Amino acid sequence: MIKQPRLTLSEFFEKGDQFYIPQLSIDCVIFGFHEGELKVLLLQWKDSKKWCLPGGFVLKQEHIDDAAVRILQNRTGLNNIYLQQFYTFGDPERARKTHGARKPGDVTGKSWLTERFITVGYWALVEFSKVDPTPDDFSLDCKWWDINKVPSLILDHNAILDKALSSLRIHIYDYPVGKDLLPQKFTMPELQTLYETILGKDLDRRNFQKKMLSMGILERLKERKQGGAHKAPYLYRFDSKKYQLAMKQGLKFGI
């Protein structure tokens, strides 16, 4: 990984464009799943107190995918995140100057940051409990929001989020999203709730289980989940070998 320069906030406003590609940013929609709810990780800006997607910039000699990985790493503390580029947003109105962002008091004149930006959107799937939400230099706070309760965000970030969700809903049919969103061991009802939450519709318990098991990428453990009321459900985990074999042959999820 390419090393990032250490800059103060004022330095960043004044001469960040010596290190980063101008007018190009990365925005990440980080999905998590907790207590039956689909969550996204959002940041709160210091100046306007408004919420936004975690984002960042691309170093002069950095791959855009690596920039996304770096941003994800910084906000969540995680490596090896499942990451997917989904769309690039290029409306000329996408500029901080037209949306009330303020420079630090001691920065005079124009800053590269107030220009119009094109942003490349990525979404990521992470295991909720492993994330350590960490604000960046622009932010007061970094926390999970229920996807259904996301507030009004800066710029076009609500639109970016919507597009990410659509993209995720399409990807759910050829990628086993549970692999990244759930803990290693999980129950079938938990997996089903995940799918129901992402797709926004109820699924038949029995047909769902049949479908999932028929793909042959799940391994049922001897253990059962203890502690809940009622009958203890089996625990499952993804079988990496079978999974990789299945993916090569083009996995199809007919949910």
Handedness of CA 89, 85, 31, 68 (dihedral sign): negative
Please say which residue, 63 or 205, places its beta carbon nearer to DNA. Answer: 205
Q: Please state, in angstroms and rounded to a whole number, the distance separating the CA atoms of residues 95 and 115.
A: 6
85's contact among a copy of itself, DNA, none, with CB below 5 to 8 A by partner kind, is: a copy of itself
Tokens of 159: 């639109």
Residue 23 interacts, among DNA, a copy of itself, none and using kind-specific CB cut-offs from 5 to 8 Å, with: a copy of itself
Integer Cα distance of 247 and 143 in angstroms: 33
Residues that bind a copy of itself (CB under 8 A): 21-24, 58, 60-65, 67, 85, 87-88, 90-92, 116, 118, 120
Contacts of DNA in 179-198 (CB under 7 A):
187-189
Residue 168 or 235: the one with the smaller Cβ distance to a copy of itself is 168
Nearest distance from C-beta of residue 238 to a copy of itself, angstroms: 25
Q: From the list a copy of itself, DNA, none, pick the one residue 62 interacts with, judged by a Cβ distance below 5 to 8 Å according to partner type.
A: a copy of itself
Which residue lies nearer to DNA by CB, 234 or 247? Answer: 234
Site string for DNA, 142-181 (x = CB under 7 A): ----------------------------------------
To DNA, the closest distance from the beta carbon of 198 in angstroms equals 16
**Residue 204 interacting with DNA (CB under 7 A):** yes
Is 222 a binding residue for DNA by CB under 7 A? The answer is: no
